[in-house]
Chains A and B, each alone.
Chain A
Amino acid sequence: MNEFTSGFWDFYIALLTLLSIVACAVFLKSQSVRKAPGDAETTGHKWDEDLAEYNNPLPRWWSWLFYLTIVFSLAYLVLYPGLGSWPGTLGWSQVGQLKEETRVAEQQFGPLYQKFAATELEALAKNPEALAIGQKLFLNNCAQCHASDGAGSRGFPNLTDGDWLWGGDAKAIKATIAEGRTGVMPAFGAALGGEGVTHVAQYVRSLSGLTTDSLKVAFGKEIYLQNCIACHGADGKGNPALGAPNLTDKIWLYGSAQPVVAETIAKGRTNQMPAHKTLLDEAKIHLLTAYVLSLSRPAR
């Protein structure tokens, strides 16, 4: 930023501020008395030729209040940052205040979360008080992608169906939330060719019992066994260690229609769950895990 600014502007602002304050003082002094013609009791203002204003003097302490504001502003400018780049003798800053308020909030609300930190996740998933807190955390941090009910949407996994890409035990869920996950399905379009992709898609769909062409399925199976089993396994049940989906459970992250499955195979997919440990502390992730665990129902 230094190439865009220079010390001159700090000086300029400080000078303007101080000049304004001095000008205010001079103005106040000059306005406390007024020269009026003769011994009239008017302020000397005249409108419309003959309309005059009576002088109704304010109490003296009133003018002191004005001078007090000048003293206040000078004290303020010494104590707080306001005069150019002067940081103020109190060392106050916006960032400092935010940190302080965050610290106070942690201190106040921390125990609420800490209370559950030592409880086993499986037990916590049945504790209504913990789940109420977990739900609030979920609605604030997770519902944007996974929907308010946790059932996800296209491209964002459903957390309520008992099917887990990266493992559904408490430890795996916690790791997913804290560390995030990146699931990559490589693109096979170039390697398999258009027809090959169609055949594999037919085979993959047949694994979940969707109507298919048996001949294409047979061709597809050949190609599948050569290209896909490293991740999805020979039986198509996937591999939670890699985040490779189970292809036999009738659950489709991007949809089950033939063109959609073909697109997944041809172009690949990259799916990211962001890491939350930088956003939420351990105790909150613990509660969130319990809530997500409570959402999950056994597989059909």
Chain B
Amino acid sequence: MKNDLNLAELSLYEVRRKIYPRAVHGWFAAWRWALVWATQLVFYGGAWLTWNDRQALLFDIAHRKFYLFGLVFWPQDIIYLAVLLIVAALSLFLFTAVAGRLWCGYACPQTVYTEIFLWIERAIEGDRNARMRLDRQKLSPEKVLRKGAKHGAWLALALWTGFTFVGYFTPIRELWSEALALALGPWEGFWIAFYGFATYGNAGWMREQVCKYMCPYARFQSAMFDRDTLIITYDANRGEPRGKGKAKGDCVDCSICVQVCPTGIDIRNGLQYECIGCAACIDGCDQVMDKVGRPRGLIRYSTTNAVEGKPSRTLRPRVLVYAAILGAIIVAATTSLVLRVPLKVDVIRDRAAISREVEGMIENVYRLQIMNTTEQARALEISVSGLPGIHVWGEGTVGVPAATSRMVPVRVRVEPGVAPGSHAIAFTVRALGVDGVEVREGAAFIVR
């Protein structure tokens, strides 16, 4: 629509064109399915594992305890979550620098669930052409039946996914009996429905739009790509001019690579931000090449340098730096986890009663917040050091039940004669009958 001599009206929004990815088989598709199985066995199965008579993987937000097999994390261990996120981000950088969007193409939940939902869709409605035909058809009993069956299967799987997800935050076996008895709590019901709907909506309806418009990764990946990054490349030198015939290149212009693409792009136009690196076009093209008797690899994993005939190398500073940082953080985090003492102590001085004289001694009072992060009850001995003759007055041993936090008032005394002012002292809390479970925590002893 021309309003002015040279100005055209351009819509910044458009109706989405539905994409019907064609089924594809081959080496990379097999890899994707292997990862679908691996990730989903872990996800759907992990919640049902048992460890020490409790759920092995349980993130109990209400009680602020996070169980990971033998490990129990407390909110104070949030640093490990931060480290995990840093490791995940650095791994993403490393893999991307080496081989592009490996995560997106094979392991991202959006890809994995889309793959599963597509499989269901194919099983019920048929492959690309059958699906396109069905969508064009007028409403018929068959269409209603097929669409209904597809959405029913999608919803069932989505709800099971939501249920499993919630099962990591509330004991899954109890959740299951509640679900069977239709007696779910309002919040449990809400979150199962919420995550179920998110799965159904994202994997069934949104699909590539999540990658194109919502995921920030597509937009900043170019910062991690360079000319030595493996990307899915169409070899234009070999392929062009495309078409059938003697004088033409290897590309027979069969458009299989476009038909299999889950984001609906034509890889022959070069690297595009929509490309999630799933390699479906490689599998599709390789089969065609086999049929027409040409060598495989017209579309292949390659680097910009390699395609242009320049030397290409994997080990370059960017990769080495990412790998070194990643390795260092993993080693540090593992060491810290292994050496972690399952006992935490916070010392809080009494603030109103700073210092007092009792029975000729100078006394300060503290509260010790003692957290026993193990799953066994512990007897703990409290001692103090830092001034001559300093000692805990009264009972020096306390019991703290398993996975419990306890506040213990402690009186500390010294002989008179200590200079007025603040003195650095340290509390030592030691578990009796266990080696190496000991925490030292500094405090101040005040003399008036």
Q: Taking A59-B209, A61-B16, A148-B409 as contacts, is the C-beta distance between A35 and B352 under 8 angstroms? A: no
Q: Which residues of A (131-153) have their CB < 8 Å from a CB of B?
A: 135-136, 139, 143-153
- Provide the bound-state CA to CA distance between A152 and B7, in Å: 84
Residue of B nearest to A161 (CB): B358
Q: Can you name 7 A-B pairs with beta carbons within 8 Å?
A: A33-B9, A36-B7, A39-B8, A41-B10, A136-B407, A149-B365, A153-B352
Q: Taking A148-B350, A148-B367, A148-B409 as contacts, is the C-beta distance between A153 and B12 under 8 angstroms? A: no
User: Which residues on the B side are within 8 Å of A60 (C-beta)?
Assistant: 13-16
Q: Is A114 an interface residue (CB 8 A)?
A: no
Q: Is B11 an interface residue (CB 8 A)?
A: yes
Interface size band for B = 20 to 34
A35-B9 in contact (CB<8A) = yes
A153-B356 in contact (CB<8A) = yes
User: Which residues on the A side are within 8 Å of B187 (C-beta)?
Assistant: none
Q: Is A6 an interface residue (CB 8 A)?
A: no
Residue of A nearest to B355 (CB): A153
Which residue, of B3, B16, B350, B353, has the highest number of chain A Cβ atoms within 10 A? B353
From A33, A59, A61, A148, contact of B365 by CB (8 A)? A148
Q: Taking A34-B12, A58-B12, A62-B13 as contacts, is the C-beta distance between A153 and B7 under 8 angstroms? A: no
From A33, A41, A139, A152, contact of B367 by CB (8 A)? A139
Q: Is A57 an interface residue (CB 8 A)?
A: yes
B7-A55 in contact (CB<8A) = no
User: Which residues on the B side are within 8 Å of A58 (C-beta)?
Assistant: 12-14, 213
Q: Is A258 an interface residue (CB 8 A)?
A: no
Q: Is A267 an interface residue (CB 8 A)?
A: no
Nearest chain B CB to A90's CB is how many angstroms away?
A: 19
B407-A139 in contact (CB<8A) = yes
Q: Mostly helix, strand, loop or mixed at chain B's interface?
A: strand
Those 6 A-B pairs whose CB atoms lie nearest each other, nearest first: A153-B353, A148-B409, A57-B14, A147-B353, A59-B16, A35-B7
Q: Mostly helix, strand, loop or mixed at chain A's interface?
A: mixed
Q: Which residues of A (26-45) have their CB < 8 Å from a CB of B?
A: 31-41, 43-44
User: Which residues on the A side are within 8 Å of B10 (C-beta)?
Assistant: 33-36, 41, 43-44, 55
Nearest chain B CB to A253's CB is how many angstroms away?
A: 12
Q: Which residues of B (23-78) have their CB < 8 Å from a CB of A?
A: none
A38-B352 in contact (CB<8A) = no
Which residue, of B213, B409, B410, has the highest number of chain A Cβ atoms within 10 A? B409
Nearest chain B CB to A47's CB is how many angstroms away?
A: 17
A156-B409 in contact (CB<8A) = no
User: Which residues on the B side are within 8 Å of A43 (C-beta)?
Assistant: 10, 12
A153-B13 in contact (CB<8A) = no
Q: Is B351 an interface residue (CB 8 A)?
A: yes
- Provide the bound-state CA to CA distance between A44 and B8, in Å: 10
- Return the CB mask of B356-387 against A: 1 if under 8 Å, else 0: 10100001011100000000000000000000
Nearest chain A CB to B220's CB is how many angstroms away?
A: 16
User: Which residues on the B side are within 8 Å of A33 (C-beta)?
Assistant: 9-12
- Provide the bound-state CA to CA distance between A63 and B178, in Å: 40
B213-A156 in contact (CB<8A) = no
Q: Is A154 an interface residue (CB 8 A)?
A: yes
- Provide the bound-state CA to CA distance between A44 and B367, in Å: 67
A151-B351 in contact (CB<8A) = no
B13-A57 in contact (CB<8A) = yes
A151-B365 in contact (CB<8A) = yes
Q: Taking A36-B7, A149-B365 as contacts, is the C-beta distance between A55 and B12 under 8 angstroms? A: yes
Q: Taking A61-B16, A147-B365 as contacts, is the C-beta distance between A152 and B9 under 8 angstroms? A: no
Nearest chain B CB to A184's CB is how many angstroms away?
A: 22
- Provide the bound-state CA to CA distance between A149 and B395, in Å: 12
Residue of A nearest to B209 (CB): A59
